[in-house]
């Protein structure tokens, strides 16, 4: 199959990010320029003198893809090519929600015609599984380790879709690599809308989450089915769509991952995580009314 993200790169087996990145660029098409933050994706796909990318690709630094993309988009406007060439800025969760948040906010506020894609694998995986602002509550990472005085990461995920949505941009969506056609539909929809767009894609990392590399898709699916990773779309600030689910208890998601193993005999903590899922379910109305989902 012809793709704009070619094989031969050095991603780990079962890498959710590499799956999602291919789906995104293939949906966006060849008339696209990518600006990428430093992170796993850039490292495993562009080792000189080879590249996986069949489209123009710019990597600059860890936190500035939203700004370099703003420069590229401005240059395209100057050249009169803004109508024919797409710009995608993409980064991991740390590069988006932490160190790159300021540049992203500037890009959104200025109204550039750019799709920003956050590949959310819920920690700094490229540097060895340190917690980020998008690491979930109680997750065991190398900088939120468990111990007699710790049950893991002390805070829930930063609500990035809402933070981005608060900028008054036309389109915000979450997606999951367990639902490839849904990713591609959302990318195509984003590309049809003028202005800044944001898609955050849940991408399991077998190494960091400590699950079998063959389970990437099913783990990602469980995150959606438990309500821990709601799939939603905001259009012009309003919740426009959501994937409704037949609910599963959060234990089903947690038990297949080493990063949550310490919680399975801790009913108090499990209750808190179920509370996060329940809150999502209520907030977005994720529960199916008829069991035909």
The contact set with other proteins (CB under 8 A) reads 30-33, 35, 42-43, 46-49, 51, 53-61, 63-64, 66-72, 74-79, 85, 102-103, 105-106, 109-110
36/92 Cα distance (integer angstroms): 9
Nearest approach, Cβ of residue 187 and other proteins (Å): 17
Nearest approach, Cβ of residue 85 and other proteins (Å): 6
Nearest approach, Cβ of residue 216 and other proteins (Å): 24
Cβ proximity to other proteins, 5 vs 209, nearer residue: 5
Nearest approach, Cβ of residue 87 and other proteins (Å): 9
Q: Look at strands 32-36 and 57-59 and give their pairing.
A: parallel
Nearest approach, Cβ of residue 39 and other proteins (Å): 11
Cβ proximity to other proteins, 127 vs 214, nearer residue: 127
Concatenated DSSP letters for 53-87? BSS-EEE--SS-HHHHHHHHHHHHHHHT-TTT-EE
Cβ proximity to other proteins, 35 vs 219, nearer residue: 35
Cβ proximity to other proteins, 57 vs 234, nearer residue: 57
| Cα diameter, the chain | 61
1/180 Cα distance (integer angstroms): 15
Nearest approach, Cβ of residue 1 and other proteins (Å): 19
Cβ proximity to other proteins, 39 vs 230, nearer residue: 39
Peptide bond into 12 cis (omega under 30): no
CA dihedral 15, 18, 19, 22 (to 10 degrees): -170
Cβ proximity to other proteins, 61 vs 241, nearer residue: 61
Establish how many alpha carbons lie within 13 A of residue 135's alpha carbon, considering only the half-sphere containing its beta carbon. Answer: 26
Cβ(182)–Cβ(221) below 8 Å: no
117/122 Cα distance (integer angstroms): 14
């Amino acid at each position: 199959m012809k793709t704009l993200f070619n094989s031969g790169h050095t991603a780990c087996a079962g890498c959710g990010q590499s799956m999602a990145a291919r789906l995104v660029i293939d949906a966006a098409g060849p008339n696209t320029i990518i600006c990428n933050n430093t992170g796993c994706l850039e490292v495993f796909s562009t080792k000189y003198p080879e590249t996986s990318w069949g489209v123009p690709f710019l990597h600059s630094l860890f936190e500035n893809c939203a700004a370099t993309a703003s420069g590229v988009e401005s240059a395209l406007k100057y050249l009169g090519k803004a109508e024919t060439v797409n710009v995608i800025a993409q980064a991991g969760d740390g590069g988006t929600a932490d160190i790159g948040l300021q540049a992203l906010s500037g890009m959104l506020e200025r109204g550039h015609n750019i799709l920003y894609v956050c590949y959310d694998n819920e920690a700094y995986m490229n540097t060895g599984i340190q917690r980020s602002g998008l690491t979930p509550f109680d997750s065991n990472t190398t900088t939120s380790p468990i111990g007699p005085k710790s049950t893991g990461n002390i805070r829930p995920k930063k609500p990035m879709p809402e933070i981005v949505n608060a900028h008054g941009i036309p389109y915000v969506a979450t997606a999951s690599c367990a639902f490839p056609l849904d990713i591609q539909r959302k990318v195509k929809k984003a590309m049809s809308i003028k202005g800044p767009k944001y898609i955050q894609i849940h991408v399991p990392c077998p190494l960091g989450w400590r699950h079998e590399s063959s389970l990437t898709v099913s783990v990602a699916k469980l995150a959606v089915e438990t309500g821990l990773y709601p799939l939603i779309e905001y259009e012009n600030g309003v919740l426009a769509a959501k994937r409704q689910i037949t609910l599963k208890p959060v234990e089903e998601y947690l038990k297949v991952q080493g990063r949550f193993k310490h919680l399975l005999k801790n009913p108090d903590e499990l209750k808190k995580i179920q509370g996060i899922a329940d809150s999502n379910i209520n907030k977005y109305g994720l529960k199916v009314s008829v069991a035909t989902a």
